[in-house]
Structure 1
């Protein structure tokens, strides 16, 4: 009986894994081309029953984690895996599970900051439920940025001037895309003027950069 349960679990896992290969590039394309439409898609899906949510796409948190996994796969193919020098960094970078978890958390910082900023500006009480909707939207919007930025860092670490220039160009373009998407999302969500929206966007991006830089500094220092 337990063996049959195990087989059914493996069957579900295999099916879910195969659907990722179909729905990940499809969802990625939809987010890149229609970011505002995908944010509205989250609104619609969260009103559905739990079993029916995101039936034709990948759920936003999982999509962000898969984006980090894809970028890590590129890193492995290029033989540019990051290694730690200190005890803490060796612990984090020493195995695949902790490395992927660490990177997922660092990229999830941006959706969390954006969601908290939105709720504070709208004077909405901060609860798990009130955070869920903006956080899910932001996971979708952050995933392409995570793939592009992580992949660009791989090219920056490759030897040669050309690869470094390509990496820098991709990182700048990805940051610009993310900034524009963030500004558009905040403009609609906050219903404020464009100067106010730009200031909010700069605040969110800079705070995310500072927090991630601080985390990186702590890892390198230990």
Structure 2
């Protein structure tokens, strides 16, 4: 009986894995080309029954984690794995599961900051329910940024001036795209003027950079 349950679990996992190969690039394309439409898509899907949600795409948190996994795959293909310096960094970077968890958390910082900032500006209480909808939207919007930025850093670390230029160009374009998408999302969510929206966008991006920089520094010195 337990063996049959194991087979069914493996069957479900294999099916889910195969659907990722189809729905990940499709969802990525939809987010890049129509970010505002995909944010509205989250609104629609979260009103459905749990087993019907995101039936033609990948759920936002899973989509963000898969984006990190894809970027890690690029790193492995290019033989550019990060080597830790301190004991803590060696523990994190030397283990695939720990490394993927660390990167997922660092990129999830931006969705969390944007969500909390939006709710506080709207004076909405911070609860699990109030966080869920905007956080899911932000996971969609952050995933392309995660793929592009992580992959660009691989090229920056490669020897040669051309690869470095390609990496820096891609990283700048990724930041510009992400800043524009964040500004558009915050403009709709907060219903404020463009100068006010730009200040909110800069605050979200800079705070995310500072938090991730502090985390990275803590890893390097320990």
Band of TM-score, shorter chain: over 0.9
Question: Following TM superposition, by how much is the alpha carbon of 1:85 offset from its aligned partner in structure 2, in angstroms?
Answer: 1.1
Distance 2:136 2:45 in 1: 11
Match of 1:71 in 2: 71
Distance 1:185 1:89 in 2: 35
Give a deviation string over 1:18-42, Cα, whole Å, max 9, x none.
0000000000000000000000000
Secondary structure of residue in 2 paired with 1:4: helix
Q: How does 1:30-41 map to 2 (within 5 A)?
A: 30-41=30-41
Q: How many residues align?
A: 222
Match of 1:62 in 2: 62
Secondary structure of residue in 2 paired with 1:43: helix
Distance 1:80 1:94 in 2: 13
Give a deviation string over 1:125-162, Cα, whole Å, max 9, x none.
00000000000000000000000000000000000000
Distance 1:30 1:164 in 2: 29
Question: Following TM superposition, by how much is the alpha carbon of 1:206 offset from its aligned partner in structure 2, in angstroms?
Answer: 0.2
Match of 2:53 in 1: 53
RMSD: 0.3
Question: Following TM superposition, by how much is the alpha carbon of 1:98 offset from its aligned partner in structure 2, in angstroms?
Answer: 0.3
Match of 2:188 in 1: 188
Question: Following TM superposition, by how much is the alpha carbon of 1:114 offset from its aligned partner in structure 2, in angstroms?
Answer: 0.2
Question: Following TM superposition, by how much is the alpha carbon of 1:94 offset from its aligned partner in structure 2, in angstroms?
Answer: 1.1
Q: Does 1:214 align with 2:199?
A: no
Match of 2:127 in 1: 127
Q: Does 1:5 align with 2:19?
A: no
Match of 2:95 in 1: 95
Give TM-score scaled by structure 2 length: 1.00
Distance 2:43 2:217 in 1: 37
Give a deviation string over 1:60-89, Cα, whole Å, max 9, x none.
000000000000000000000011010000
Give TM-score scaled by structure 1 length: 1.00
Match of 1:176 in 2: 176
Distance 2:113 2:105 in 1: 12
Distance 2:115 2:70 in 1: 25
Distance 1:212 1:58 in 2: 26
Q: How does 1:128-167 map to 2 (within 5 A)?
A: 128-167=128-167
Q: Does 1:24 align with 2:24?
A: yes
Give a deviation string over 1:174-195, Cα, whole Å, max 9, x none.
0000000000000000000000
